[in-house]
Amino acid sequence: MRTDLAASYGEERLPRYTSYPTAPHFSPAIGADTYARWLAELPSGASASLYLHVPFCREMCWYCGCHTQIVRRDGLIAAYQRTLRSEIAQVAETIGRRIKVEHIHFGGGTPTIMAPEAFAELMAAMRHAFFVLPSAEIAVEIDPRTLTADMVEAMRLSGVNRASLGVQSFDPVVQRAINRVQSFEQTASVVDMLQRADIKGINFDLIYGLPHQTVASCLDTVRRSLELAPARFSVFGYAHVPTFKKHQRMIDENHLPDGLARHDQACAIANALKEAGYVQIGLDHFARPDDAMAVAFEDRTLRRNFQGYTIDRGEVLLGFGASAIGRLPQGYVQNEVQIAPYSQSIAAGRLAIAKGYGLTDDDRLRADIIERIMCEFSADLGDICARHGAEAEAMLKSASRLKPLISDGVVRLDGDRLAVANDSRFLVRSVAAAFDAHLDTAKQLHSRAV
């Protein structure tokens, strides 16, 4: 791992490329009528994945970059659940048939803030509106501090088979600085409950670059996490954007590590997980060698969507809830971000789309290149361009940001095949950005490259 490259490229703000083009380029020109038409045009054999956004938490974690709000009244959560059920029925009716579903993901916020019976009703509504395959992966994001045994039982009965636990850091100094005090014992108890409920697919989310965080504290968090043996880890760099997430102003910037320190933390976590037998997958995921994600990485079938790296190969992602983003073959759509206008639209019988993006042929080509780079650290530009009726030579000429990366040894070109050097893989977002025709680095909307 080269610290000179971390210093040269690490401070640049770049997308995580969970989509291309990225969400800042969505436009109000794409609205509910367009979405309805796109849904009706889905081919007869299409299958879908579902994403449900639950934008509520009991307290705010100051590092959070998600669309969420603090709620004390359970009545608001119950009303939102009813709105989700209505939206599910509206979308299914617009499609006009009961399409197959292979993946369901509950994100937030804290999805398990719902009452157990409300969660079960929501799952039943999805099974009624869509044909949820018996083999479907059903994943839920969990805050271990608030999960109850009753919710675990509701998840088991509803067919949940994967859970992502927010850990971030076990360092109490870091936890106090980000307003998320969560003991190791709490986390271990939740893992035990999930395993007893036969929910075996357990992921841990870790973050580096937090206030007061050090290499030593990162490694201690990894060591303690390994005692609980999760199947996967997601390891993200903290994105400090207080202009857009005002609660992040509660974090003292003087206590944030600089770019080189963040780089050292990321490398230390990665090395520790690999030494423990986990396979590094793309930019920020790690999995046991027998896990489906590690297999997909080895088979070059790994994909990337709004949940990060995924084994989901589908081209249709239906988003439900305030701020939820969906993808169809024609483009992207996003619901109203705020709960009130979202709920008002659904109550009036209208799809709640606020903005979106219609894909061009050039977008699809660049999206394929960027996804392969992000998933495999390489891309056969000749093959990808040929499939899209384009020329690799022209694509390379348009990628002016690639030249310094080649000069610095970050990227190697062998004919039309591009590969990121092994010691430079932490800069994969910089390489992907070379093919981003929409990139505007003047807008500080994204996290640092390292």
The pLDDT tens digits of the residues spanning 396-443 come to 999 999 999 999 999 999 999 999 999 899 899 999 999 999 997 545
CB atoms within 10 A of CB 444: 11
Instruction: Concatenate the DSSP letters of all residues of 57-79 into one string.
Output: ESS--TT--SS-EE---HHHHHH
β-strand partners of 413: 418
The model carries a pTM of 0.93
The pLDDT tens digits of the residues spanning 320-366 come to 999 999 999 999 999 999 999 999 999 999 999 999 999 999 999 99
Look at the domain 360-434 and name its fold: Arc Repressor Mutant, subunit A (1.10.10)
Whole-number Å distance between alpha carbons of 150 and 389: 54
pLDDT for 89: 98
Point out the least confidently predicted range of 1-5, 30-34, 150-154, 280-284: 1-5
pLDDT for 442: 47
The pLDDT > 70 percentage for the chain reads 97
The domains of the chain are located at 3-8+18-320, 360-434
Using the Cα atoms of residue 159, residue 226, residue 17 and residue 282 in order, give the sign of their dihedral: negative
Whole-number Å distance between alpha carbons of 117 and 114: 8
Whole-number Å distance between alpha carbons of 110 and 55: 7
pLDDT for 6: 73
Q: What is the overall mean pLDDT for the chain?
A: 94
Under the banding of pLDDT at 50, 70 and 90, the label for residue 448 is low
346 neighbors 86 (Cβ within 8 angstroms): yes
The pLDDT tens digits of the residues spanning 208-257 come to 999 999 999 999 999 999 999 999 999 999 999 898 899 999 999 999 99
The CATH classification number of 3-8+18-320 equals: 3.80.30.20
